[in-house]
């Protein structure tokens, strides 16, 4: 089953963020809690952990993409891939 990875809300007034880097690559197996990406806000860069276990099957927003709305899908994990 595909699970969306969404741009997290990292602060009270955060409306958009930037994918600073993908730590996981498409095809990588990840466990819940593994760092999969770095998200940049106006104030800091934060490591983003996987919310589920599975395989990273698609990256919707590449590293460097900015002005991504909070809650927007940035990638997908699949627990059956």
Alpha helices, DSSP H only, in 1-81?
none
pLDDT band at 38 (very low <50, low <70, confident <90, very high): very high
In this prediction, residues 13-20 reach a mean pLDDT of 94
| Structure confidence at residue 11 (pLDDT) | 86
Distance of CA 6 to the CA centre of its chain: 6
DSSP SS3 for 23: coil
**What span, in angstroms and rounded, lies between the C-alpha atoms of 31 and 27?**
13
Question: Structurally, how many domains does the chain consist of?
Answer: 1
In this prediction, residues 14-38 reach a mean pLDDT of 97
In this prediction, residues 60-80 reach a mean pLDDT of 95
pTM (global) more than 0.85: yes
| Segments forming the whole domain that contains residue 23 | 2-78
Which domain CATH number covers 54? 2.40.50.100
Task: Taking the CA atoms of 53, 58, 61 and 64 in sequence, report the sign of the dihedral they define.
Answer: positive
Radius of gyration of the chain (CA): 12
In this prediction, residues 64-71 reach a mean pLDDT of 95
């Amino acid at each position: 089953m595909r699970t969306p990875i969404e741009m997290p809300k990292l602060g009270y007034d955060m409306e958009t963020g930037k994918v600073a880097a993908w730590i996981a690559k498409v095809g990588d197996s990840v466990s819940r809690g593994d760092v999969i990406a770095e998200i940049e806000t106006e104030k800091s860069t934060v490591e983003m952990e996987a919310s589920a276990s599975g395989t990273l099957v698609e990256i919707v927003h590449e590293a460097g993409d900015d002005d991504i709305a909070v809650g927007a899908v940035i990638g997908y994990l699949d627990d059956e891939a």
